[in-house]
Amino acid sequence: MNDKIYLHETIQITLDNRANYFKHMTVDWAPTMKDRKQKMVGIFGVFSSNGSWPEVVNLWEYDGWSGLAASFDFETANIEAMRDPFFSEWSRKAYTLRHQGYDRILIPADFSPTIDQLIAMGRIGHRLYYHERISIRPGQAKEYLSLMEKEWLPRANELGMELLGAYRTAGRNDSEVVVIWAVRDWATYATIEEAFDSSDNVAAWHRKTDGLAVDWRREVLCAAPLAPCLTGKHLAEI
């Protein structure tokens, strides 16, 4: 059972500043994480031949809705600025590295591991990830995730995809699922792509979700050097 809540950020990077943003989002942000009671799961660059670029995806973990609310309360304590002093200073530099973003609040499926569980199980150290955003028939995101656990998760594991997290998006009509899979290496990526094009197992899964999954988008992410899902260490420990 995963009782955490997650913040998923998609960030548009300015010019050639992705590496600079990685550092600013990890090393420079780490001092405030204790006050915000948050843990980073991962920070990733979208692979340029497979999606928008230069783009970064951040995934944060909080101790349930109360933990997220406490973080938001801390952030908005300054009523006029709607951000604490550290965030204000940090943002001034951040806006020289990024220019736009889009955030989602995510609710994990029961079978979706926390970052501490991933580290404890040794399921870290991967550099490549599949990032899926799946449009679901309204009101059916829970049903899709349940079906995914029973029908697709074992087949995905056989293909070389290891689950980092499976979530449904809050604040919508239960119509979007976000799934992130770790992929061992580029050779495994090639095998998976071939399977998506021609495998009977993949075709069977798509038939199972026909009419439930309305549309989906899959892109490849590369973990940043200090991403906890790569290092097995929380940012506060680095």
CA distance 225 to 207: 38
Note the pLDDT tens digit of each residue in 25-71: 999 988 777 777 899 999 999 997 877 789 999 999 999 999 999 98
Note the pLDDT tens digit of each residue in 167-182: 999 999 999 999 999 9
pLDDT of residue 82: 63
In the structure encoding, which two tokens stand for residue 218, read together? 């899959």
List 43's β-bridge partners, or say none: 58
* Domain boundaries, given as residue ranges, for the chain: 5-108, 115-222
pLDDT of residue 80: 60
pLDDT of residue 238: 67
pLDDT of residue 75: 80
Summarize the confidence of residues 60-84 as an average pLDDT.
83
pLDDT of residue 81: 56
pLDDT at 16 > cutoff 70: yes
> Which residue intervals of the chain are DSSP H helices?
18-26, 33-36, 64-75, 85-94, 115-120, 141-147, 153-159, 186-198, 200-208, 228-231
CA 175 → CA 41, 120, 133, distances in Å? Answer: 23, 32, 11
Which CATH fold topology does 115-222 show?
Answer: Alpha-Beta Plaits (3.30.70)
Number of Cβ atoms within 10 Å of the Cβ of 168: 22
Q: Do domains 5-108 and 115-222 have the same CATH topology?
A: yes
Summarize the confidence of residues 1-21 as an average pLDDT.
96
pLDDT of residue 19: 96
Class of domain 5-108 (CATH, top level): alpha beta
Give first-to-last CA distance, the chain, whole Å.
28
Is the overall model pTM greater than 0.75, yes or no?
Answer: yes
CA distance 94 to 92: 6
In a 3-state reduction of DSSP, which class is residue 141? helix
Note the pLDDT tens digit of each residue in 126-146: 999 999 999 999 999 999 999
CA distance 182 to 125: 9
The residue written with tokens 């790569």 in the block is: 230
CA distance 52 to 67: 31
pLDDT of residue 32: 78
CA 202 → CA 182, 194, 198, 205, 220, distances in Å? Answer: 18, 10, 8, 5, 18
For the ranges 70-79, 130-139, 148-157, 196-205, which has the lowest average pLDDT?
70-79
